[in-house]
Amino acid sequence: MRRTTASTCCYCGVGCGVLIEHDADTIHGVTGDPAHPANYGRLCSKGSTLHKTGDPAARALYPELRLGKGMARSRTDWDTAMQHAARVFGQTITDFGPDSVAFYISGQLLTEDYYAFNKLARAVVGTNNIDSNSRLCMSSAVVGYKQSLGADSPPCSYEDIEQSDCLLIIGSNMAYAHPVLFRRLEQAKSLDPAKRIIVVDPRRTATCELADVHLGIQPGTDVALLHGILNLLIQQDWIDETFIQTHTGGFDALQSLVGEYTPEHVAGICGIDPEALRQVAQMIGTAPSFLSLWCMGMNQSSAGSAKNSALINLHLATGKIGKPGSGPFSLTGQPNAMGGRETGSLSNLLPGHRDATNAKDRAEVADYWGIEALPDSPGLSAIELFEAVRRGKIKALWIACTNPAQSMPDQTLIREALALCPFVVVQEAFATTETCQFADLLLPASSWGEKNGTVTNSERRVSRVRSAIPAPGEARADWAIACDFAQRLEKQLKPDQPSVFGFHQPQTLFDEFRGLTAKRDLDYSGLSYQLLDALGPQQWPFLPGAERGTARLYADKLFPTIDGRARFIADTYKTVKEQQSTDYPLILNTGRLRDQWHGMSRTGTAAQLFGHVDQAQISLNPADIDRLELHDGQLVRVTSRRGKLVLPVVADEQLQAGQAYIPMHWGDRFLRGGGVNVLTQPAFDPMSGQPELKQAAIRIEPVSLP
Ligand code: SF4
């Protein structure tokens, strides 16, 4: 008999509600949930084809184990698999210490999964070596919010998009990466053509179709641009002196720094017209409300934290924060990158927006968990973690629900690390990802439509994810795998101590976790599965006894810092890490396509989603194609300082001369020689650890066919 189950889309951070039509074991269709406040029934091409994606033949169906490198994996049972994993991890920890093992998890996981892995790493193993692919996605925004506003709490709501008079979209191709939000913006602009939209992006993307002004800056020059805008706001007296004096600190130092960023100086750095800069400053300075939206173009950068803070500076200087239609609003890439931040799933964080480096925070969590202490040695961020694997310092690695052998920069080094690691566990729904080939133990995980729990979207809204059908074969929920392993490891490492892992349902994980948010900036200790079922998705904070969540933060102008004031951050503009040269004269940019998701484990199996772009390709400005004596569709060799790739070239007038673009989605399964990350660089932001995935120097040569 057919039924309908309400759940949440598993792709981007918009977090659209979906209605799954299914019977006992098959999903037949997906429609948008009209009651969900993120999308009100809308879905994009990816969400509306969810039921057609994910090849059943590619699913991992039972555990597979190999007993030596070079040997084939063979089927085993769960008990043998988990005992083996616990024995290897336990022995490694006993012989080499807790920091000789690591966990690399994912923004695709549910909050309950994240929490289980965090508790496993910090409380059972005793290491902070747990990081997430959200490091590649949002860690610069985390630093930006924390250092400027005092907490990692994006203050805005989606309704601010409709309410704002002036929107700055910077480093985000919303039209492709957050399509349903972009549709909300399109509709709002059509109803109110006076709404001003500024897009800052080196490429003239589909998002620019809605722009009143597009600033096609040179890659990586955002900080100079934002300082230049602030300088003009100050000069024209478009700032809010009262707000600055009463609610912020550090303005004088910033004012003196940005004085150097004159329109002509900034125009020279960014490669734009100084008049366009003046026009943008006027739009922002004179608009009654001002909203900024950003994503990977700001975050995936060696200056990602500085870019985030420079943008937040504009809101603090104009007092346009905590009001309808105003505020800094980062868009999360993955469906539950926000849940990862809440549960402390970056190596430097702890659950409840706490810091692993803060002794008081560690003591609070240890006390709550009923253990003596949490580890105080610093954990490794993603790039450092794989480098430690390569150097032999990490001897057992657990990877869950992510594909670093396709998604991490500088693939040659990542694959070398995975091949050298003595014991690699991969917990995955699809056995065909590039990372699975490195698994000594492959554990089958359940996928979207089969899982229960919660996710938090970009606007801090917690939504239920519900299972419609059982997982195939012997696949298990991610939280259940983590908990089973934790209990076995506890018996090995702490046989005389009581277990701290008595979880038998995702709800028990959620209930324990929400207690850790009490009295914190993200307090959702008042939320429960029952309330979510009764009230629908809710935004945090959601305090005990509340009737609904909180749409907007900082309306009271009180910031979660020691003195209640926000901080202006005065970072100077720094150039990108990798410069062009005679040998590598072009700049490579990377990013998403409209109809594909990440490494295409799901979307790569739906023919319909290849109608937009059907193959991996490198785009160049037509002038560069002519100058290099190439032609559209010709195969070219793309070489960076780290690797090479062969692809067809296509002309794209939306790219500036001297710049190239390759989508991030294709890996080994689709493209011989690997995907774009054989070319990208491992340089990262020293504050956030986020790699500079969006910029590399390359050269292009024709490939001569035999
Ligand atoms: Fe899913 Fe994002 Fe599309 Fe919404 S916008 S349907 S969350 S991919």
Question: What's the confidence (pLDDT) of residue 144?
Answer: 98
Coil, strand or helix: which one is 409? coil
pLDDT tens per residue across span 192-233 = 999 999 999 999 999 999 999 999 999 999 999 999 999 999
- Are 293 and 403 in a shared domain? no
pLDDT tens per residue across span 315-338 = 999 999 999 999 999 999 889 999
CATH number for the domain harbouring residue 15:
3.30.200.210
Residue 72 is encoded by which pair of tokens?
Answer: 């084939």
**Mean pLDDT value of segment 177-184:** 98
Residue 31 φ/ψ, nearest 5 degrees: -130, 165
pLDDT band at 1 (very low <50, low <70, confident <90, very high): confident
Question: What's the confidence (pLDDT) of residue 385?
Answer: 98
How many other C-beta atoms lie within 10 A of the C-beta of residue 614?
Answer: 9
* Residue among 13, 15, 21 at smallest CA distance from 463: 15
Domain count, the chain: 4
Which of 297, 314, 331 corresponds to the end of one domain? 331
pLDDT band at 597 (very low <50, low <70, confident <90, very high): confident
Please check whether residue 185 lies inside any domain of the structure: yes
pLDDT tens per residue across span 524-548 = 999 999 999 999 999 999 999 999 9
User: Is the pTM value of this prediction over 0.95?
Assistant: yes
The answer, yes or no, to whether any atom of ligand 1 lies below 6 A from the CB of 180, is yes
Ligand 1 atom closest to Cα of residue 44? 3
> H or E stretch including 481?
helix 478-493
705 pLDDT above the threshold of 90: no
CATH number for the domain harbouring residue 258:
3.40.228.10
10 in Cβ contact with 432 (< 8 Å): no
pLDDT band at 604 (very low <50, low <70, confident <90, very high): confident
Q: ∠ at Cα 17 (11, 23), nearest 5°?
A: 95
- The region that residue 244 occupies, defined by phi over 0 for left and psi between -120 and 50 for alpha, beta otherwise, is alpha
Residue 570 φ/ψ, nearest 5 degrees: -110, 85
Cis amide linkage into residue 541, ω under 30° from 0: yes
Ligand 1 atom closest to Cα of residue 12? 2
Residue 337 is encoded by which pair of tokens?
Answer: 């990158």
Name the packing angle between helices 304-318 and 222-235 (round to 10°). Answer: 20
Please check whether residue 695 lies inside any domain of the structure: yes
Question: What's the confidence (pLDDT) of residue 602?
Answer: 87
Question: What's the confidence (pLDDT) of residue 601?
Answer: 85
Ligand 1 atom closest to Cα of residue 45? 3
The three-state DSSP-derived secondary structure of 99-146 is HHEEEEECCCCCHHHHHHHHHHHHHHHCCCCEEEHHHHCCHHHHHHHH
- Are 359 and 255 in a shared domain? no
The answer, yes or no, to whether any atom of ligand 1 lies below 6 A from the CB of 15, is yes
Question: What's the confidence (pLDDT) of residue 706?
Answer: 62
pLDDT tens per residue across span 348-373 = 999 999 999 999 999 999 999 999 99
Quote the CA–CA distance of 590 and 567 in Å, as a whole number.
32
pLDDT tens per residue across span 399-423 = 999 999 999 999 999 999 999 999 9
The answer, yes or no, to whether any atom of ligand 1 lies below 6 A from the CB of 479, is no
- Are 377 and 408 in a shared domain? yes
- Are 129 and 272 in a shared domain? no
- Are 422 and 327 in a shared domain? no
CATH number for the domain harbouring residue 410:
3.40.50.740
Show Cβ contacts of residue 620 under 8 Å, excluding neighbours closer than 6 positions: 586, 628, 630, 649, 650, 651, 652, 655, 659, 660, 700
| Tokens 């698999």 sit on residue | 81
The answer, yes or no, to whether any atom of ligand 1 lies below 6 A from the CB of 455, is no
243 pLDDT above the threshold of 90: yes
The strand pairing partners of 663, in sequence order, are 591
pLDDT tens per residue across span 488-514 = 999 999 999 999 999 999 999 999 999
Residue 28 is encoded by which pair of tokens?
Answer: 């037949």
The strand pairing partners of 426, in sequence order, are 399, 442
pLDDT band at 54 (very low <50, low <70, confident <90, very high): confident
The strand pairing partners of 662, in sequence order, are 590
Amino acid at 414: I
- Are 311 and 347 in a shared domain? no
- Are 300 and 370 in a shared domain? no
69 pLDDT above the threshold of 80: yes
Question: What's the confidence (pLDDT) of residue 605?
Answer: 85
Quote the CA–CA distance of 618 and 615 in Å, as a whole number.
10
Amino acid at 31: T
Question: What's the confidence (pLDDT) of residue 671?
Answer: 73
Please check whether residue 566 lies inside any domain of the structure: no
| Tokens 């990377």 sit on residue | 590
Strands 538-539 and 461-465: antiparallel
Please check whether residue 545 lies inside any domain of the structure: no
Render the burial of 183-211: b for 16+ CB within 10 Å, e for the rest. bbbeebbeeeeebbbbbbbbbbbebbebb
Name the packing angle between helices 222-235 and 251-258 (round to 10°). Answer: 100
- Are 662 and 598 in a shared domain? yes
Quote the CA–CA distance of 617 and 85 in Å, as a whole number.
40
How many other C-beta atoms lie within 10 A of the C-beta of residue 231?
Answer: 23
Please check whether residue 18 lies inside any domain of the structure: yes
Please check whether residue 115 lies inside any domain of the structure: yes
* Residue among 217, 209, 225, 204 at smallest CA distance from 284: 225
pLDDT band at 667 (very low <50, low <70, confident <90, very high): confident
- Are 423 and 408 in a shared domain? yes
- Are 169 and 256 in a shared domain? yes
Amino acid at 664: M
Determine what percent of the chain is predicted with pLDDT higher than 70.
100
ipTM score of the complex?
1.00
- Are 281 and 171 in a shared domain? yes
Centroid of ligand 1 to alpha carbon of 136 (angstroms) = 20
Average pLDDT of the residues of the chain: 96
Please check whether residue 206 lies inside any domain of the structure: yes
Atom 4, ligand 1: residue with shortest CA distance: 16
Atom 3, ligand 1: residue with shortest CA distance: 44
Centroid of ligand 1 to alpha carbon of 38 (angstroms) = 10
Amino acid at 535: L
Please check whether residue 459 lies inside any domain of the structure: no
Residue 326 φ/ψ, nearest 5 degrees: -130, 140
Residue 182 is encoded by which pair of tokens?
Answer: 């972009």
Centroid of ligand 1 to alpha carbon of 562 (angstroms) = 38
The pick from 8, 10, 11 for probing ligand 1's pocket by mutation, whose C-beta has the most ligand atoms within 8 angstroms, reads: 11
Residue 200 is encoded by which pair of tokens?
Answer: 């800052």
600 pLDDT above the threshold of 90: no
Question: What's the confidence (pLDDT) of residue 673?
Answer: 72
Largest CA distance in the chain: 73
Show Cβ contacts of residue 614 under 8 Å, excluding neighbours closer than 6 positions: none
The answer, yes or no, to whether any atom of ligand 1 lies below 6 A from the CB of 38, is no
- Are 168 and 78 in a shared domain? no
* Residue among 233, 245, 461 at smallest CA distance from 335: 461
Which of 314, 331, 348 corresponds to the end of one domain? 331
Coil, strand or helix: which one is 586? strand
DSSP annotation of 587: E
Ligand 1 atom closest to Cα of residue 335? 7
Atom 6, ligand 1: residue with shortest CA distance: 47
Query: Can you give the residue range of the structural domain that contains 382?
Result: 64-137+336-451+475-504
